[in-house]
Amino acid sequence: MMSKKRNMIALTIFLLIALATITANWWLPVSPTAMDANQRLLAPSGTHWFGTDDFGRDIFARVVVAARVSLAVGVIVAIIATVIGTLIGLISGYFRKTDFILMRIVDGFLAFPALLLALALVAALGGSITNIVIALTIAFFPVMSRVVRSAVLQINNAQYIEAARTTGTRDLVILLKYILPNVLSPIIVQSTFIFAKAILAEAALSFLGVGVNPSTPTWGNMLQESQIYITIAPWFSIFPGIAIVITVLSLNILGDGLRDAFDPHSLKRKRKRKPKQTAPAA
């Protein structure tokens, strides 16, 4: 019960953040780009809720707008990495002859810490939003392939699939109609986690100065910019960070909740199950 409520709160918060940033142009009282040299690095107040930055811009407005790039990068990476990873996982789990080659390639990608691979790729490709999406997709699809492959392997020998195979159903039909729907839950859970990780990674890349163009407001860029003012204007560093934490936390809670909801072997359920001896008849 408690965790159900927790999941609903997380979902609501996440949707509110997404809605707020999409509709920001209509309701933000201050422009996120309006500079004012006389208003530099002001502490939070009634007019500037989160204070102002080194150009006198309103930090609250910038945090709200910055969510667009961060969420967009996160969602696009999550979708593309999920599609590619699922495809590879399905193929290598189902067509056993391709398994060895595909998994060695995936292992090769997995041999890099994700953030490092993304960093190296962005360094090579150059730091545009498209390139960051490409880099993060490459960094995160291998885990998805592994997850999907092991899920496919688990149900590959199920009777209904054996049955479909022996009756001559085409492989593509078996894959899409019988296997994919049954491995959907780990895919959804994993893509939620990729979403969360991609937001963190994008922020880290921007913070390291190899990410999105510094003139575009993203949470990572704001934190990069604020770093030198940490002692005189700590709010400049604190609020964008809190925005990341709340967004990523709500995604992680959702992923955690989905995993518990989907997984029949989930620990929580196992513990709640009645002892076998007393199980009453259904």
Q: Which residues here bind another protein, judged by CB under 8 A? A: 2-3, 6, 104-105, 107-109, 111-117, 119-121, 123-126, 196, 200, 203-204, 207-210, 223, 227, 230-231, 234, 237-238, 241, 244-245, 248-249, 251-253, 256, 267, 270-272, 274-281
| CB of 166 or CB of 271, closer to another protein | 271
Contacts of 68 (CB under 8 A, 6+ apart): 21, 22, 24
Cα gap 115→155, rounded to integer Å:
32
| CB of 69 or CB of 179, closer to another protein | 69
| CB of 37 or CB of 124, closer to another protein | 124
| CB of 138 or CB of 152, closer to another protein | 138
Over the chain, what HEC string results?
Answer: CHHHHHHHHHHHHHHHHHHHHHCHHHHCCCCCCCCCHHHCCCCCCCCCCCCECCCCCEHHHHHHHHHHHHHHHHHHHHHHHHHHHHHHHHHHHHCHHHHHHHHHHHHHHHCCCHHHHHHHHHHHHCCCHHHHHHHHHHHHHHHHHHHHHHHHHHHCCCHHHHHHHHCCCCHHHHHHHHHHHHHHHHHHHHHHHHHHHHHHHHHHHHHCCCCCCCCCCCHHHHHHHHHHHCCCCHHHHHHHHHHHHHHHHHHHHHHHHHHHHHCCCCHHHHHHCCCHHHCCCC
| CB of 152 or CB of 223, closer to another protein | 223
| CB of 174 or CB of 249, closer to another protein | 249
CB of 140 to another protein, least distance (A): 13
Q: Which two tokens stand for residue 10?
A: 């997380």
CB of 155 to another protein, least distance (A): 22
CB of 268 to another protein, least distance (A): 9
CB of 164 to another protein, least distance (A): 33
CB of 108 to another protein, least distance (A): 3
| CB of 152 or CB of 200, closer to another protein | 200
CB of 210 to another protein, least distance (A): 6
| CB of 172 or CB of 276, closer to another protein | 276
The residue behind tokens 């699939």 is 161
CB of 106 to another protein, least distance (A): 9
226-250: buried (b, 16+ CB within 10 Å) or exposed (e) per residue? beebeeebebbbbbbeebbeebbeb
CB of 80 to another protein, least distance (A): 17
